[in-house]
Every structure is written in structure tokens, then in C-alpha cells.
Amino acid sequence: MTGPKLNERPGTRATLRGYHMSASKARVVLNLIRGEDVTTAREILAGTNREAADVIGKVLASAVANAVTNDAMQADELFVSAAYADEGITMKRFTPRARGRAGQIRKRSCHITVIVSRLDDERLETLRNARTAQAAVSRTRRVASSRRRADQQASLNKRETAAVVAAENEALEAEANANAQIEDEVNETDLMEFDTVDTPVEDLVATDQVDAESDVAERPVDEAPADETLAEVPVDDTDSDDTTEETK
């Protein structure tokens, strides 16, 4: 006794009719998702590099939406119970060939059907346990990755802080060296000026004596010292006799 026909399989279905692709190309992708749960089927289709994968993904999403909306099922409890592609119409075209002959071109199409059904309780329990374990492992990995990134960031911050402190210390040291160099230059300049101005004591005494003599020579007569005795001025006796005679 044969099983039920594909068009009589129980479940919620979605069909795409007349898609311009050969049925053999669509069946290659449908064989990958047949019997898988919806989540796994989506992941398989997302990682398949074929044109039919995008189209079949849309048909699968339509079937899941029909099951949730029309049959009140949960999306995470569904699996692909049946998936098949039938041959559609074939358009015939011709291309010119040698010696006036014509070559036939067949443009094929197909009808893609995806049927989803609810998992049985045993398989659903196994799937939930597997998902819980996978979620725990994923969470552990995320936590470990977050801690590793936090440690790397803390180490990077420490290195940056150490670099900033080292740069500030170098700047302060350079500034201190520059100030010390400036002070040394100022001190050397002062010492050089003091050496040029400093003269022996004998030269200072001689210089003072010469200055004193020059002051005395240039001093006017009116400014003679008060303690000097005035020279005696000679008196002319003839003049005095003349004056006495005139008075007589």
C-alpha cells in the first residue's frame, strides 16, 4: 500500500506557481530542508549560495505565517514535513543555427510547495532541551567574550594612563632641565660681567689720584678753598704819596 500523495499530506502549506526555474534546480535546495525544524531550515537556506534558496525561503516564511495565522500554531514548534517542486509550463523558443536550421530553446518553470506541521511531543522536548543547552553555551561564550574584552580594555586603559604619566614626567623633566640651563647661562653672564668690571686695587688708587689732580687743575680761582692764606699784595708807595699830596 502506497503512502499518501504529496498534495494530500497533512499540514499547512504555501505554494509558488510558475516560477521561472527548472524543477531539478529547486529540488536540490528542497532536499536540504526537508524534515528539519523551521529554525534550522532558515539557517540552512541563509547559508546556501543558490538562487532557489532565496525563493524557497520566502515560501517557507509564507507557510509558517499561514500556520500561525490560520491554524493557531507556534512558529518554534513547526518543521518542514514536505517540500517538493513540480514541473510547470515550458516555453519553447528557437535560435538560428547553421545551414538555415533552428535550434530549440526550452524555458522551463516549476511549482514550489512547502508544507509545515507541528512536531510530536517527544521530538519537541528533545529540541527544546537542545535549544536550552545551546543557549546556555552561547551565553557562557558571550560572558567569556565580554570579560575578555573588558580585561583587554582595562589593560589598554592602564597602558594609556602609564604613557600619559610618562609623557607628563618627561615634559616636567625637560622643563626643569631648560630652567636649570637658563639659570646656568645667567650665572655665567653675571660672572663674565663681574670679571670685566673688576680691576686691581692699585689701578683704582692711581685712577682716583689722576681724577683728583684733574679736578684741582680745572677748578676756577674763585672756588679756592677757604682755609688757604691769601698772598700778600704789594703796595705801591708812589701811588700813596701822590694821594697824600693831592689831599694836602
* Residue 25: partners with Cβ closer than 8 Å, 6 or more residues away: 50, 51, 52
SS3 content of the chain, % helix, strand, coil (to 5): 65, 15, 20
Secondary structure (3-state) at 89: coil
**Per-residue confidence (pLDDT) for residue 106, from 0 to 100:** 94
User: pLDDT digits over 169-180, tens only?
Assistant: 888 888 888 888
Q: Is 112 exposed, middle or buried (0-12, 13-18, 19+ CB in 10 A)?
A: buried
- Residue pLDDT, tens place only, 120-162: 888 888 888 888 888 888 888 889 989 898 998 898 888 888 9
Mean pLDDT, the chain, whole residue set: 81
User: Higher model confidence: residue 2 or residue 92?
Assistant: 92
State whether residue 156 is helix, strand or coil.
helix
So what's the pLDDT on residue 32? Answer: 95
CB of 64 within 8 A of CB of 90?
A: no
- Most trustworthy range by pLDDT among 1-5, 85-89, 224-228: 85-89
Helix (H, G, I), strand (E, B) or coil at 245: helix
pLDDT given at position 60: 96
Maximum Cα–Cα distance across the chain: 201
pLDDT of 246 over the 80 cut = no
Q: Is the C-alpha dihedral spanning 143, 149, 153, 158 positive or negative?
A: positive
Provide the pLDDT for residue 248: 42
Q: Among 29, 24, 88, 90, which residue's Cα sits nearest to residue 54?
A: 29
115 within 8 A of 12, measured Cβ to Cβ: yes
The CA-CA-CA angle for residues 164, 166, 171, to 5°, reads: 95
Looking at the predicted structure, is the pLDDT value of residue 61 above 70? Answer: yes
Residue 139 · residue 98 · CB < 8 Å = no
- CA–CA dist 16, 26 (Å, integer): 12
Portion of the chain with pLDDT greater than 90, in percent:
41
Q: What are the tens digits of pLDDT across the range 178-217? A: 888 888 888 777 777 655 555 455 555 555 565 555 655 5
30-34, 51-55, 175-179: which range is least confident on average?
175-179
List pLDDT tens digits, range 92-123: 999 999 999 999 999 999 999 999 999 888 88
- pLDDT greater at residue 88 or residue 7: 88
